[in-house]
Structure 1
């Protein structure tokens, strides 16, 4: 168990590194487009491709990438800690909200191309090739009664690598896929197998094309640092999940609970973890995060057969949720069927009519009745930002 936990922690750390690299690159391209990155002179010397920290902080707030200057500085410090940006003289290790010049390491050629980065870039290249290829092996497939979009059998991926000249032999293909899995780029659909040259199904667990919100970087880092605090009691309840403490009234739940200490600065965030819940901004003034595993909002257990039976007291609705930069804003829970546990009242989900106690039947025309909340969450997180939900809600 200890070894398994260590492996999972390494995979999560690598996945976070991948997310930081993607977010950093997306930010770099946007800053170039907005002319914030340019050649600048300082003390009779010209520094190419630089940005001024103070100007960037202003830009992050104007474009709603950060709610205030303190969070903006934390975000950029996070990029510095991961070798994405640095001070032009490389002597300062702290990002300061001042008229100081910084650069992206990719702009000046100092980006550390170690093994981890090389595997990441190889995975990104393969992902782009696969999603644009006419003969892509990434398709909707089923395994043990569950459907998985954009999945592929291990043996077919290796066949594709050989056919497209990505590797020279099946052994090289297997080694490449092992590296991709170990660095958190691909994974088995149920997270139970390593990579094998067989019919087992795998998926990319990094959506390289999704627009990242910079706040996700702090949220993920925060989640890793407090992993022991937030860990769910899965051995006791397979359908349980953890909700990070947020401003206690920002989520509507159908069941009252005991008063909880609210965390200041709560804001809806797009999560890359296994739940579609909120991550709040937390700093030293926010107070600690609290462990929260609320009881189900359901008044009684409902089976899939009961939902689908003629004359059942449920009404079918089709809801279109257009996710924004912060995510979708609802929490799913349960297993066969999943249901809506909570909804952020200011979210796209609330605007679309998503309500607590609704049972999720389909996601983007794919039946999810027999999925658990983990699988359903992964389906939404790796799919398009517009999610079409078919739900069944009780008729009062």
Structure 2
């Protein structure tokens, strides 16, 4: 039986991961405005930190499943040094300015991430009352995106640069399936126009440090944040995420409904001060200033009701053939840490849609 043909809209981490997984059963073409190696404000994936720290709530089994599968996948890649993935296994730290209340519950991933434990008082940074540590992974987005694209091309995938105005423009004469991984574009893409989608901007600073100097990542939560997972409008976030080439990302901000990609100098100075005050060992011994590579602002593709992974049928205007569309967008700031698991769910969702159609014909 010949393979079916699929078109994937978008070449971010969600689009590329989905495209590679689809290649087991489909001939795949990626349509995108931006591709790996490019750095534009609306292309969210390259601007990410990125590291794995699940924000899934205890009652959110679906998000936990996405994040768990992704952690296991990244963990395996991190141990395979033959692949140029940009993945590192590091010590992760979560810091809280104030001690959580007595009814606080441990995060769901305490039994997934090796070495999870509470920090001792003497291990806590100045101004921090509580903390946890565990093994996790960080990813260099530019390198990992290029790795995915290489896998995609080796498997015979094709690409086409395109700026779509309607989702049906992704349907060609041989198309059977369209996967919409357009991220923030799903708000304006005709045929989708999901008004629950919005931007949450994040300002970061990329600095250069000696390779191996920073072998840890951390996130610091202000007073009032006990779960590390519910963002407030225009929230200040403090985090450090290292990459395998010595680059380190300092963050950040969370500006809901903010579409500006222009860095603010005062915010940048505040980010640096917050990161160094939390972990003074960020600076190499004898150094007083960080070597800044660039300032940037990324636009997280948030969706009010969470990730949308669901199918719908449409009809090709060229051939009259029924086309299956599957959406995969709305990942917000957790697109990287859920990328593999969410893309696996896309494959499963496609299969269920075809099985349902087959049963309906009997």
- Using CA pairs below 8 Å that are at least 6 residues apart, which structure has the higher relative contact order? 2
Q: So what's the TM-score if we normalise by structure 1? A: 0.20
TM-score (norm 2): 0.21
Could you say which structure has the higher strand fraction? 2
